[in-house]
Amino acid sequence: MNRRFLALLPLFALLGGCQAVLLSPSGDVALQQRNLMLISTGLMLTVILPVMALTVFFAWRYRASAKAEYDPDWNHSLPLEVVIWAVPLLIIVILGALTWMGTHLLDPYRPLNRISATAPIATPQGGEAQVRKQPLVIQVVALDWKWLFLYPQQGIASVNEVVAPVNQPIEFRITASSVMNSLFIPALAGQIYAMPGMQTKLNAVINHAGDFEGFSANYSGEGFSGMRFRFRGVEGNGFEDWVKAARDKGDKLGREEYLVFERPSEREPARQFGSVAPDLYDAILNMCVDRAKMCMRDMMAMDAKGGGGKEGISTVMALEYDKSVRRGGAPLPPRPFVTAICTPADVYGKGGVTAQVAN
């Protein structure tokens, strides 16, 4: 028996690489989410543990060899009924209240109102409220299969690396270039989806300096397993020094550079761009980095006014989204579309209505 146990010891060494990061977060939002999870689990255990204990007790108490009292006419106990119904009802009420509060207080779109449990962002001092600390805006783009982080306030960008100062509110603005993805930094906050043509948000804060892992939590194709990045929380002048180092590199990320960069690649090393086109993120969000393509905001504005009509056919033809070509795929086949509505009399000299179709 001892030999078998010793043979299993190497298996326990494999558990040394496990990190319960969800149970030991480094950001206040993730900490509140952890607390909500622990409270919910504890409430449910108030039912599970007694049931498991009583199962063992009854099996032992009423075993075949025991001389337990047997009452075949027993059918009701008011105290037992109260416990059976009141405890689950109370748990449901408490869980409902926690869920309602957590849904609103931990809404990822909601700006933070505190840095930590003991440090609100704006506190009264001398009869006046302190100036609210402005968040650090980070624009996130999920690509195949890498992450691009734009810092519009600093005018730089980074690949597969996020750096943020400790105790500084962060506002992530998230989108995707091609397929749906999901941004997840367990030490910071919960996961938020990234979708092409749409923007989601995540407000969070990091309270402890260190290196933390971020990754994609939504399968997105062949290179998904390597779609990971590093999140660094820095203190003091660490963030300013990192920004200065990125600017000194001088690498530029404009529209033309982005069209090349967005092509599928795997396990890209972390690097920075010293300058970024100011309108790049807006163009990515509106799916018009290629200047030959109409931006979604313009398309929606046209639709709101009734569309382009027959005269807008050339514009519609230019909307062909050829990302499949840039991503290494084959061009899409030509699709038929209606160019005009006319009568057979116009074509055959007879009455009626028909549609002219072109390829």
C-beta atoms surrounding 322 within 10 Å: 13
The radius of gyration of the chain's CA atoms, rounded to the nearest angstrom, is: 30
pLDDT in the model for residue 3 = 64
What one-character-per-residue DSSP string does 16-76 give? GG---GGGS-SSHHHHHHHHHHHHHHHHHHHHHHHHHHHHHHHHHHT-TT------TT---
Given CA atoms 109, 110, 113, 119 in this order, what sign does their dihedral have? negative
Kind and range of the H or E run holding 243 = helix 238-249
pLDDT in the model for residue 280 = 93
Per-residue pLDDT of the chain (359 residues; tens, 9 = 90+): 566 656 666 665 655 555 677 778 888 888 888 888 899 899 889 889 988 999 999 888 888 787 777 777 778 888 888 888 898 899 999 989 988 988 888 889 998 888 888 888 765 554 444 445 789 999 999 998 899 999 999 999 999 999 999 999 999 999 998 889 999 999 998 899 999 989 999 999 999 999 999 999 888 888 888 899 999 999 989 999 999 999 988 789 998 999 889 888 889 999 999 999 999 999 999 888 888 777 888 877 777 777 666 666 666 655 555 555 555 555 555 555 555 556 666 666 655 444 444 44
Kind and range of the H or E run holding 213 = strand 210-216
Check residue 196 and report its DSSP letter. Answer: B
User: Under a CB-based contact definition with an 8 Å cutoff, are residues 142 and 183 in contact?
Assistant: yes
Cα 247 from Cα 261, distance rounded (Å): 19
pLDDT in the model for residue 127 = 42
- Stretch(es) of the chain classified as CATH 1.10.287: 19-65+77-105
pLDDT in the model for residue 118 = 83
Collapse the DSSP code of 125 into the 3-class scheme (helix H, G, I; strand E, B; otherwise coil) and give the result. strand
Tokens linked to 164: 């943020």
The CATH code belonging to domain 136-285 is 2.60.40.420
Cα 139 from Cα 103, distance rounded (Å): 24
pLDDT in the model for residue 69 = 78
pLDDT in the model for residue 231 = 94
Cα 255 from Cα 89, distance rounded (Å): 58
Cα 250 from Cα 156, distance rounded (Å): 10
What one-character-per-residue DSSP string does 38-52 give? HHHHHHHHHHHHHHH
pLDDT in the model for residue 357 = 46
pLDDT in the model for residue 126 = 44
pLDDT in the model for residue 193 = 94
**Amino acid code (one letter) for 111:** P
pLDDT in the model for residue 103 = 85
Cα angle for residues 245, 170, 248 (degrees, 5° grid): 10
- Stretch(es) of the chain classified as CATH 2.60.40.420: 136-285
Cα 338 from Cα 313, distance rounded (Å): 9
Tokens linked to 56: 């063992």
The CATH code belonging to domain 19-65+77-105 is 1.10.287
Cα angle for residues 267, 272, 276 (degrees, 5° grid): 120
Peptide bond into 60 cis (omega under 30): no
